[in-house]
Structure 1
Amino acid sequence: MGAEFKAKGANMQLGPGLNVARVPRGGRNFEYMSGEDPHLGAMMARPVVKGIQSKGVLATAKHFILNNQEDHRGNMSSNVDERTLMQIYMPPFAAAVDAGVGSIMCGYNRVNNVWACEDAWTLKLLRRQLHFTGWVMSDWGATQSTAAAASAGLDMEMPGGSFFTADKFRAAIGNGSLTSAAISNMATHVLTPMFAKGIMDSAQPSGRPDANATSSSHDALAVHLATAAAVLLKNEGQLLPLTRGAALAVIGPAAKCDAPKPDYGFGWPPSIGCLNSGGGSGGVAGAHYDGILGALTPLAASVTFDEGNDARAAAATAAAADVAVVVVGSTSCEGADRSSVELPEGQLSYLRAVAAAQPRTVVVLMAPGAVAVGQWAEAVAAIVCFFLPGQAQGTAVANILSGTSNPSGRLPVTFPTVDNQVGFSRSQYPGVAMPDGLQTNYAEKLAVGYRWYHATGTTPGFCFGHGLSYSTYTYGALQASPTGVAFTLTNSGTVAGAEVAQLYITFPSSAGEPPRQLKGFRKVLLQPGESATVTLPLGPRDFSIWDVAAHVWAGVGGVFEAEVGASSCDIRARANLTLK
């Protein structure tokens, strides 16, 4: 990404997005790399920031903080307690700061009824707790004041000057609401990372914003990432990988959509029909596009396509084939949340009809986040989720369905059985209208995402961390200590593959923590019959909670349970460890 931004003449990238997916319907969840877990977000943030900035382009971590929904984002207040803020929503940003991120962007929302871009509480935490030395910029039009915002810790108004103008700064200094020293500090915050990362030591990049900055190596990387991110959710009777030479029925308009053309504007991308990209400022249409139908055709003896407009006709097409491949899903866009995480009714209609007519049905699922699966998952033999795979959509689908690549992706969010399975009240989402704006109360506190499912004993459609393989893996006995865990992992299947082993920690009950929290993971590639010793480190922070009285991290003593497995629900080995 850094190389392509530089080729487009930029020395800054307005990313990565790090907000935790509190709201399954969230319109920008596809942009945010944290999934529903703070540790996952922290582990992703560090290498991405370092990678972008290694190319002479400054990264921007966004949207600080609690910008967890798009509906009413410009007038809602995210009301949260300090412990929840620090333990769930702050760690990805802390990791970005640890990685040396140049800039942080504050969001449109309010935090406990104070605009995020003038919230002294959270903006001072950046400096005093996280030791951030770069600058804070506003999201586009998110600045609400001059002196209040600058005093709280905002350094730059974007995109233009409505409040941070020379005249308004002079007036604020003249009336004593702002000091010249504060303005000097703001300038220092902007210049510090620019000098530190070498921006001031080189000429402005000469590329153009509308340039095609890709390359053959980046195209190959797009294929690799889209394939590696695919999650095999279900594979009943080992239907996948498909036998070459089968007669395929391919159902669904997204399998045969018009190739999107590059669009550098704001709003829904032209690729919406392909379900391969999200919309808004994070929407991207590649310079070229691999369609699903074209990619599957060389794998089969014959391919029959049906749009799915007539469910009965689609079912008949499926019944006449050896295997039906049904392409369904949705996308989302900045500025609005999805109305539901259920599949659209039109898709459900032809999906149910095809599944009833053809027991060998594979669902190819495209999604910007969580999808409710309770109405259809049991009826089909196999499901592969590709999320939003971009320009290499078709090639990635063909790679996985053919067995050219063994799936190794894992769910970063829980897939519920129904929309709002977590039972958010209107007060929790989207919020309750009050005279001073929409009030959204984070009443679930620490029980976000999969933590809520485990804390309440609720069974989702597919668990956080879930993902199958064309091989199988055996976990040995777990050895655990305060510094880490170790176990033997064996590929007990017949093909090479990668297992993503996950480490979860449950605190003593006295700590008041949700059970089974992700504290580590490792992707291990193994040949058939091969074993490896897997070690996952632990440190003091992994056994700490936020002390709201002292405003520091505090260690917890007692007996902890360490668990390793293939998902938060698929635990393979356990061991206790004690901290004093």
Structure 2
Amino acid sequence: MRTSRWLRRAGAASAALLLIPALGSAAAPASSRPGGAWGSGTLTDPELISLVAEMTLAEKTAMVHGSSDTTCATTLPEGCVGQAGWIPGVPRIGVPPLRMTDGPAGVRLGHVETALPAPSGLAASFDTGDALAYGRTMGAAARATGQDVWLGPMINAVNFPTGGRNFETLGEDPYLAGALAAEQVRGAQGEGLIAELKHYIENDFENGRGSTSVTIDDQTLHETELLAFQAGIDAGAGSIMCSYNRINDLYGCGNDTTLQTILREQLAFTGFVQSDWGAVHKMTDLVRGTDIEQPSARNFTDAALADAVAHGTPAVAATADYPAYPAISAARWQQALDTALFHILSTMNKAGLLEGTRFGSHFTGTPAPWVPPRPQLASLRSGDAATARSLAAQSATLLKNSRQVLPLSPKDKVVVMGPSAVASYYGGGGSAHVIPYDGSASPYQALSSSSPKINYVPGYDLDGALVPSSALTAPDPAEGYPNWTLTDADAAFAGKPGLLRQQITTDPVAPGAQPVLAAGGTDQLDATVDASGLPAGTGWRWSGTLTAPANPGGTGWQLKVFVQNQAGSQLFIDGLTTAERRVNVNAYPAAPASSYAALGESARSHDLTNPALQQATYSAALAAGQKLHLDLRLVTGTQPAKIQLRWVPPDNAARSIAAAVAAASSAAKVVLFAYDEGTEGSDRGGSDQAAGLLLPGYQNDLITAVAAANPNTVVVLNTGDPVLMPWASSVAGILEMWYPGQEGGNATADVLLGRVDPGGRLPVTFPASAAETPMYDPACTDTSATGNCPRYPGVIGPSVYLAGSNATYRTLTGMADNGIYQGYRWYDKHGVTPLFPFGYGLSYTSFGYSGLRVSRSPGGAIDVTFTVRNTGSRAGSEVPQVYVGPSPDLPAPVQQAVRKLVGFDRVSLAPGRSTQVSFHVDRQQLSSWSAVAGRWLPGTGARIVTVGGSSRDPRLTATVVVH
């Protein structure tokens, strides 16, 4: 089976790599488009060593840290805005620079690209063929935009259900993550793009990620996340990104055990190790295994490295943060620097990037950088959009379908609700955010085009209303607020001094008079009435007084600013010097023009809406007649800009829910879209996991009320990971669409209308309550940002390096407490019933299993064969899964799961058709790591093999004696 190929090759591949460093790679698929293929480089190891020897010391040190790309603006057709990193190469000897792009859900640059579904959706597909297509799409698009290194895939495990970056990763099981990551690597590198596995290792959370130490035992380390990294390495991954966090007290980018003993020796990795941005803490990290520091030379400085190579470095005493370091000789520094360069060049050689050197096939007599031909970005667009739509549909995971409420019938009178129905939730925030191509249909647009009986009611209103003219008056010059025009100094807030100045209000305006805005003549701050918008390259300023209504309806008002196509904008409330009253509206300057839909829960609203429109909010407790001075500034971008000032009253939720209930009562069915917000830099709910598992805002209240009014309510979830569903028993249908990328609207409609069967399965366990999760701590009472909880986010304790010193970092003990029992293994170990188990998902049809046969195979492996039949009346997809129970022969200190995944496949069958499914489960999958022995111990004896549709769905069971 394709899902176990990497395991069958693991032993042989590791042995070969240990014997021949820096040579060979796993077989890659032939490139489907122009742009080269992995393994096309022709240089030998001795030739690579010669290139290193030809470099000057200054050229060497410049290659081991990031720098500013000074050439991309003139050499790349799309420029370099948003490029993640760059190292300069050595053009003198034909070594080109390396350009790096964020991922993992598409190419993240400052211009439009294909936004693929979030990797959590890819994981839900349980399809290695999809993973290969995902990688190929990334590879071709990145190379078309001049990029050489993809900072992905991310394969950290979902150990914390509220982790901010869970949507970027591939689920909670290492076998599933490894099988998918391996194909992503083959796909991307088959197009000539270097894949960088991240974040090595245990960066499974965002709160305190830069300092927290993950306490983890040796068996857990080897049997959980490392297995996925091993799979990616065996597939030929050219790079590894070391993580922010500490592992057993040592920072990830300076940890000898993880970077040398495990990564280089045990996992036989031969590529280069690059730091996460700012994750290097000492120059000695170069000696301990990090080859490139990013984003600049904070520690790997040219001068310090040159001095170390010339004179060595003295011993360093322990501090509260770091252990003592011995003296390092000049020769050892030279060796470390040359080794790092060899790792970098050997990877570039595999990508065919060194063929312009004197040893290369494109050497013309004088060394000059040569780069394999790159595809044209425009030529990829339509095909990549089709791939994105297919991947999104493949990820669709049907969790409930009472009374066959789905698929929708053309005869049904359906009301659609929720903000992500009218503005597709493309993806999460942070370094994974991609600016998508404009023009893709929203779910509601795609649905309503199929039937006139499908209508929309907001239900969950994020927009509010335009601030009315009755609440706005011009400023009084006597109060120090004149009628403003934008000066050069004013424009500097956006870094754009000297822009064309535009006067906004008429001159003069009497104190207390209504302002008349120059943009279209409206008496509200709604500069959208002119279809052309505010001219590109101009600066604007509005100044005035807002007066609260006579009956404000309570506290909790929000002022909202919506901006499209800006270079920068800010709103100042009651003065220019109070930082907490200054609202910045985050900008993506090169975003395309699009429909002016206003959405977003917070300043990260680009997570939910088309990023062409950004939003920021300011919350206030308003008394009747209270006045606020507003000073709004805007510098337009390269296209005409639009701007709105809106407000949301405190009774907005109640009014929205009431309108939704009224609409639901008269409909045959309701399709209600709900979402959460995942982003890099913070975990959902902060340190309060119970809060983080809830849908934000009043979405749960809305769903509960609508389901009470109409039992035929279907909830469509756009989440990146698990959420609680207090309304699960009340609704008829639940469809998880994850963050489905730019074509998610069409894909969602395809599934809801029955054009595509929802064949996705859960790559993560959905808990029944916050208290029933692996990292829940019943003793935790402090849920602040610096909470003191043992399992998460960690306990501040005494330094391990200096006895009695003040604490300098926190230690997370949850991994050690749980051991290998992560994800569904924890639920099985403790007998906890989840809301929906790992591997679970429904179809519009039904499937039967039969004929299980399990036999021993040479080398301590087993073969599993059975038949799957479509027993329903529709074509559909099933994901048969194979789990194996514990070995009776392993010693007691070795932990063993009640069952662990050892095989899966995705099969599509017409009604009445069947297929035979076969798996080869190799010796390592049947083994366990022994910390005492320091190796894998074979799991011999009678092993129970279970086959079914999830971790809690034992359709077929057999026992086999493993030798």
| 1:361 partner amino acid | T
**Paired residue secondary structure (2:711):** coil
What is aligned with 2:117?
Answer: none
1:476-495 counterparts in 2 under 5 A? 476-482=850-856, 483-495=862-874
Which of residues 377, 402, 406 is equivalent to 1:236?
402
Deviations 1:487-525 (A, max 9, x none): 111110111111110000111356431211000001111
**Equivalents in 2 of 1:116, 1:323: separation in Å?**
51
**TM-superposed deviation, 1:329:** 1.5
What is aligned with 1:338?
Answer: 684
Deviations 1:100-141 (A, max 9, x none): 111000011111110000000000111100111101000011
What is aligned with 1:270?
Answer: none
**Equivalents in 1 of 2:375, 2:919: separation in Å?**
44
1:306-321 counterparts in 2 under 5 A? 306-308=457-459, 309=653, 310-321=656-667
What is aligned with 2:875?
Answer: 496
Q: Quick check: 1:285–1:391 contact (8 Å CA) kept in 2?
A: no
Residues 1:457 and 2:457 aligned together: no
Q: Quick check: 2:352–2:372 contact (8 Å CA) kept in 1?
A: no
**Paired residue secondary structure (2:270):** coil
**TM-superposed deviation, 1:357:** 0.6
1:60-459 counterparts in 2 under 5 A? 60-124=196-260, 125-147=262-284, 149-173=285-309, 174-176=311-313, 177=328, 178-201=332-355, 203-204=370-371, 214-257=380-423, 274-288=424-438, 289-308=440-459, 309=653, 310-339=656-685, 340-373=692-725, 375-422=726-773, 424-425=776-777, 426-434=789-797, 435-441=807-813, 442=815, 443-459=817-833
**TM-superposed deviation, 1:578:** 0.8
Number of aligned residue pairs: give it. Answer: 560
Deviations 1:396-432 (A, max 9, x none): 1110110000110011001111235215222111111
Name the CA shift for 1:334/1:214 in 2 (closer, same or farther; >3 Å). farther
Deviations 1:16-38 (A, max 9, x none): 101011111111111112x0000
Q: Quick check: 2:352–2:371 contact (8 Å CA) kept in 1?
A: no
**Equivalents in 1 of 2:939, 2:831: separation in Å?**
24
Deviations 1:271-290 (A, max 9, x none): xxx43310001111311232
**TM-superposed deviation, 1:559:** 1.1
Q: Quick check: 1:9–1:205 contact (8 Å CA) kept in 2?
A: no
Deviations 1:345-402 (A, max 9, x none): 41011110110010111111100111122x0111100110000001012111110110
Q: Quick check: 1:64–1:106 contact (8 Å CA) kept in 2?
A: yes
Q: Quick check: 1:411–1:467 contact (8 Å CA) kept in 2?
A: yes
**Paired residue secondary structure (2:868):** strand
**Equivalents in 2 of 1:458, 1:510: separation in Å?**
27
**Equivalents in 2 of 1:6, 1:175: separation in Å?**
40
| 1:85 partner amino acid | L
**Equivalents in 2 of 1:521, 1:391: separation in Å?**
28
Residues 1:560 and 2:714 aligned together: no
**Equivalents in 2 of 1:558, 1:207: separation in Å?**
54
**Paired residue secondary structure (2:955):** strand
**Paired residue secondary structure (1:387):** coil
**Paired residue secondary structure (2:287):** helix
What is aligned with 2:144?
Answer: 7
The normalised TM-score by structure 2 is 0.57
Q: Quick check: 2:670–2:713 contact (8 Å CA) kept in 1?
A: yes
**Paired residue secondary structure (1:465):** coil
Q: Quick check: 2:880–2:948 contact (8 Å CA) kept in 1?
A: yes
Q: Quick check: 2:888–2:941 contact (8 Å CA) kept in 1?
A: no
Q: Quick check: 1:240–1:382 contact (8 Å CA) kept in 2?
A: yes
**TM-superposed deviation, 1:94:** 0.6
Deviations 1:30-59 (A, max 9, x none): 1112x0000001101111001101111101
**Equivalents in 2 of 1:416, 1:199: separation in Å?**
47
**TM-superposed deviation, 1:549:** 2.3
Extract unaligned runs of 5+ from structure 2: 1-137, 314-327, 357-369, 460-652, 686-691, 778-788, 798-806, 857-861
What is aligned with 1:271?
Answer: none
Which of residues 182, 185, 192 is equivalent to 1:49?
185
Name the CA shift for 1:109/1:208 in 2 (closer, same or farther; >3 Å). farther
| 2:193 partner amino acid | V
**TM-superposed deviation, 1:208:** 12
**Paired residue secondary structure (2:671):** strand
Q: Quick check: 2:716–2:737 contact (8 Å CA) kept in 1?
A: yes
Q: Quick check: 1:318–1:358 contact (8 Å CA) kept in 2?
A: yes
**Equivalents in 2 of 1:303, 1:89: separation in Å?**
45
**TM-superposed deviation, 1:245:** 2.8
**Equivalents in 1 of 2:275, 2:829: separation in Å?**
36
Q: Quick check: 1:226–1:390 contact (8 Å CA) kept in 2?
A: yes
**Equivalents in 1 of 2:768, 2:378: separation in Å?**
41
**Paired residue secondary structure (2:209):** coil
**Equivalents in 2 of 1:481, 1:371: separation in Å?**
40
Deviations 1:435-490 (A, max 9, x none): 13011111111110111111111111111001100110000031112421111111
Name the CA shift for 1:193/1:246 in 2 (closer, same or farther; >3 Å). same
**Equivalents in 1 of 2:897, 2:938: separation in Å?**
16
| 1:129 partner amino acid | Q
Choose 9-18 or 194-203, whichever is displaced more.
194-203
**TM-superposed deviation, 1:212:** 6.6
| 1:371 partner amino acid | V
**Paired residue secondary structure (2:335):** helix
**Equivalents in 2 of 1:501, 1:44: separation in Å?**
16
**Paired residue secondary structure (1:71):** coil
Extract unaligned runs of 5+ from structure 1: 258-273
**Equivalents in 2 of 1:208, 1:114: separation in Å?**
42
Which of residues 2, 20, 35 is equivalent to 2:157?
20
**Equivalents in 2 of 1:6, 1:158: separation in Å?**
21
Larger radius of gyration: 2
**Equivalents in 1 of 2:838, 2:769: separation in Å?**
15
Q: Quick check: 2:888–2:942 contact (8 Å CA) kept in 1?
A: no
Which of residues 139, 160, 169 is equivalent to 1:32?
169
**Equivalents in 1 of 2:931, 2:840: separation in Å?**
34
Q: Quick check: 2:864–2:919 contact (8 Å CA) kept in 1?
A: yes
Name the CA shift for 1:355/1:213 in 2 (closer, same or farther; >3 Å). farther
Choose 225-234 or 476-485, whichever is displaced more.
476-485
Deviations 1:162-202 (A, max 9, x none): 11122111333313424211211111011111112312237
**Equivalents in 1 of 2:146, 2:277: separation in Å?**
20
